[in-house]
Amino acid sequence: MRQRIAHRIQHGRHYYFAETQALRAHLNRYLPEADVESACQELRLVWLIDRSDPFCSFFRFSNSFKNDLVCHALPPIDQACLVLSAHRGNGWWVLPLLNNQGQPVHLVSAPLPRPKNLREFLYYPYTFLRWHQMNSLGGAPIIPMRGASQKMREVFRNNGRVIATIDIPPVLAKHCSPVTFFGQTAYMPRQAIDNAIAEEAKLFFSTGDLNPQTLKQEIKFTEIDATQGAQIAFQHYAHLLELAIKARPGAWHAWGHVDLFFQKDSAPTVG
């Protein structure tokens, strides 16, 4: 049944139409050799899994955790670390994976948004469930984005662990720094890396890929060299992200605003 649902979503051009249109509009410019149709199929499947994971974790958490994950090289638990994620693949299960090692992990996230119109009000039960699961799977409270730097440093000083997503364009982030991305100068927030290095925490990049044959999540952690300073580590992150996008372009969620990464003027503060 899961395979049939996945196949139907992957090959239904009307599913997640806006998301696939955004991918089509930009893929040829950034990755001209990529297979657009295959990328669209994967993007539909990624969005389906992204929408269904809150229900999976709520109703069948132990079963999903036991049977649907394949993990490679978990970070050590005896030292503070920052796990850098991205809008690439699916990182939902990174939280319980790390928590299952016996030490909780904090997630940096925006607060639960309040509904502003009828559509958001009708969608609110799902939004609440998603936020609730994110706030519980790691075994530690979410770190709100306002005042996150101070809280992150406190966690690192206590040998704690933090997950942060930093592939965010300047229009959505206050403090951004330049980094080479797809051969151009892009701007993304670097503050989480600065905080980790200041407290001598280890750095890791995580990706989650869905195996279309088995429908298992394959999660991988890659260590980032933090000994050469924040900017070198930042560039290493951007390089790993670019390689991951090139390998599976349909797994990146951010095609709809990819151009904004390269617009310095859209940043409230760049530094």
pLDDT of residue 270: 40
Which letter, b or e, does each residue of 27-63 get, where b requires 16 or more Cβ atoms within 10 Å of its Cβ? beebbeebebeebbbbbbbbbbbbeebbebbeeeeee
- Count of structural domains, the chain: 1
User: Are 166 and 192 spatial neighbours (Cβ–Cβ below 8 Å)?
Assistant: yes
Please name the helix (run of DSSP H) or strand (run of DSSP E) that holds residue 217, with its range, or none. strand 217-224
3-state SS assignment for residue 145: coil
pLDDT of residue 90: 64
Average pLDDT over residues 177-189: 96
- The domain of 35 spans 2-270
| pLDDT exceeds 70 at position 266 | no
Query: Who wins on pLDDT, 37 or 51?
Result: 37
Q: Phi and psi (nearest 5°) for 216?
A: -95, 145
User: Are 189 and 70 spatial neighbours (Cβ–Cβ below 8 Å)?
Assistant: no
d(CA 141, CA 108): 9
| pLDDT exceeds 90 at position 144 | no
Angle among Cα 152, 92, 133 to the nearest 5 degrees reads 80
Please name the helix (run of DSSP H) or strand (run of DSSP E) that holds residue 185, with its range, or none. strand 184-188
Please state, for a pLDDT cut of 90, what percent of the chain lies above it.
Answer: 57
- Note the pLDDT tens digit of each residue in 38-79: 999 999 988 988 888 888 888 866 666 667 788 878 898 889
**Strands, sheet with 184-188, edge to edge from the N-terminal-most edge strand:** 184-188, 175-181, 269-270
pLDDT of residue 19: 93
pLDDT of residue 31: 95
Task: Please state the pTM of the whole predicted model.
Answer: 0.90
